[in-house]
């Protein structure tokens, strides 16, 4: 079983968590000024990278908080987790040593 | 209660905790400080922290960065509720009475942590989960609040309708104790 580090609670079993899609997607401030294509893109278009991906997760059966995580989609390796509102940490490449498992 | 297979109560025992009063309090730092003053002890700020008020049945449980459970006995409930409402009047907050939502079980004995770990993957060694640590977690498919009240005792707070499910699973796992 994966151990995921909640930024609030520390290392916890993966069963307590929910995946909540791609991170860092900002809702347009003025939706009515958007074209249909722009709005559709905001609503539906998501990246599907092979490698490092910034994702929202929620510690559903723990503290209940949403947070962000950098996960390598090829290895399912959680490189780091960080609180919502914090910038995406600069991490490149795939599955560096010393990450969180 | 389901049929229980532990060889003795010292090994493992499951009992109902008397009904009590519980509130979930959410608010910012100022609200939590004011609530602590009304409660009688500083509310826990550390993840998993528990604050008790000595000589009373009151206990405050940290469940999230802005979510604290406040609990006490039925007898003390009205007094605590009045004190909280007075103390919190000047602060934006949410104080919800959840007394009817949950029941609590007490699991004790030398094999208590072992029984829990049969269906809960949380690390329950004393180093990782010391006495007076609390957290929301999962026991099989049921969401529970797990509070270590002693080296060999845990309080399990769970949804009222999950009581039979959880106690039944614990009884099922206790067959291992009978077989060992
Ligand atoms: Zn958490």
Task: Decide if A34 is inside a domain.
Answer: no
Domain ranges of chain B: 2-17+101-179, 20-97
Residues within 5 A (CB) of ion ligand 1: A 6, 8-9, 59, 62-63
Nearest CA to CA, how far is B24 from chain A (Å)?
13
Select the residue of A1, A64, A65 nearest B121 (Cβ to Cβ).
Answer: A1
Residue B81's pLDDT is: 97
Residue carrying structure tokens 């845990």: B154
CATH number assigned to the domain comprising residue A78: 3.30.2270.10
pLDDT, average across residues B73-81: 97
Task: Decide if A61 is inside a domain.
Answer: yes
- Going from the C-alpha of B170 to that of each of B17, B145, B149, B166, the distances in angstroms are 16, 16, 18, 6
pLDDT of residue A1 exceeding 90, the answer is no
Task: Decide if A31 is inside a domain.
Answer: no
Among A5, A15, A17, A65, the residue to mutate for chain B (most B Cβ within 10 A): A15
Per the structure block, which two tokens stand in for B117? 């770990």
> CB–CB of B64 and A15 under 8 A?
no
The residue among B180 and A27 whose pLDDT is bigger is A27
Q: What is the pLDDT of residues A21-69, one digit of tens each?
A: 999 999 999 999 999 999 999 999 999 999 999 999 999 999 999 999 9
Residues 41-60 (B) with a CB less than 8 A from some CB of A: 47-48
In the reported structure, the alpha carbon of residue A10 is separated from the centroid of ligand 1 by a whole-number distance in angstroms of 7
Task: Decide if A65 is inside a domain.
Answer: yes
In the reported structure, the alpha carbon of residue B147 is separated from the centroid of ligand 1 by a whole-number distance in angstroms of 16
- What is the third-level CATH fold of B2-17+101-179? Gyrase A; domain 2 (3.30.1360)
Among B26, B66, B138, the residue to mutate for chain A (most A Cβ within 10 A): B138
Task: Decide if A39 is inside a domain.
Answer: no
pLDDT of residue A100 exceeding 70, the answer is no
Number of domains chain A is built from: 1
CB-based contact A91:A80 (threshold 8 Å): yes
Residue B1's pLDDT is: 55
Residue B2's pLDDT is: 64
Nearest CA to CA, how far is A45 from chain B (Å)?
32
Q: Give the structural domain span for A94.
A: 1-26+47-101
Query: By the CB < 8 Å criterion, does B143 face chain A?
Result: yes
CB-based contact B7:B178 (threshold 8 Å): yes
Nearest CA to CA, how far is B45 from chain A (Å)?
11
Cα–chain center distance at A33: 28
DSSP string over B73-91: EHHHHHHHHHHHHHHHTTS
Q: What is the pLDDT of residues B40-50, one digit of tens each?
A: 999 999 999 99
Separation between Cα atoms, residue B27 and residue B37, nearest integer Å: 14
Please tell me the CATH superfamily of domain B20-97, with its number: Heterotetrameric sarcosine oxidase (3.30.70.1520)
Per the structure block, which two tokens stand in for B9? 């109560």
């Amino acid at each position: 079983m994966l151990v995921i580090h909640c930024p609030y609670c520390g290392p916890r079993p993966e069963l307590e968590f929910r995946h909540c899609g791609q991170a860092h997607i900002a809702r347009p401030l003025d939706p009515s000024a958007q074209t249909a294509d722009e709005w559709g893109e905001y609503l539906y278009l998501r990246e599907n990278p092979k490698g490092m991906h910034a994702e929202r997760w929620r510690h559903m059966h723990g503290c209940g908080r949403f947070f962000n995580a950098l996960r390598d989609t090829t290895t399912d390796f959680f490189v780091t987790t960080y609180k919502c509102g914090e910038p995406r940490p600069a991490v490149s490449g795939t599955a560096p040593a010393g990450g969180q498992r | 209660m389901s049929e229980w297979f532990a060889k003795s109560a010292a090994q493992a025992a499951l009992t109902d905790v008397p009904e009590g009063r519980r509130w979930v309090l959410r608010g910012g730092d100022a609200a939590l400080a004011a609530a602590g003053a009304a409660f009688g002890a500083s509310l826990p700020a550390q993840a998993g922290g528990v604050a008790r008020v000595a000589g009373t049945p009151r206990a405050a449980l940290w469940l999230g960065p802005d979510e604290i459970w406040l609990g006490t006995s039925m007898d003390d409930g009205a007094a605590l509720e009045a004190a909280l409402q007075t103390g919190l009047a000047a602060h934006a907050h949410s104080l919800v009475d959840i007394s009817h939502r949950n029941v609590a079980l007490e699991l004790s004995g030398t094999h208590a942590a072992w029984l829990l770990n049969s269906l809960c993957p949380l690390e329950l060694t004393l180093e990782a989960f010391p006495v007076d640590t609390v957290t929301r977690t999962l026991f099989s498919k049921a969401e529970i609040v797990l509070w270590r009240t002693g080296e060999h005792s845990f309080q399990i707070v769970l949804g009222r309708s999950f009581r039979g499910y959880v106690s039944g699973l614990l009884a099922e796992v206790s067959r291992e104790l009978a077989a060992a």
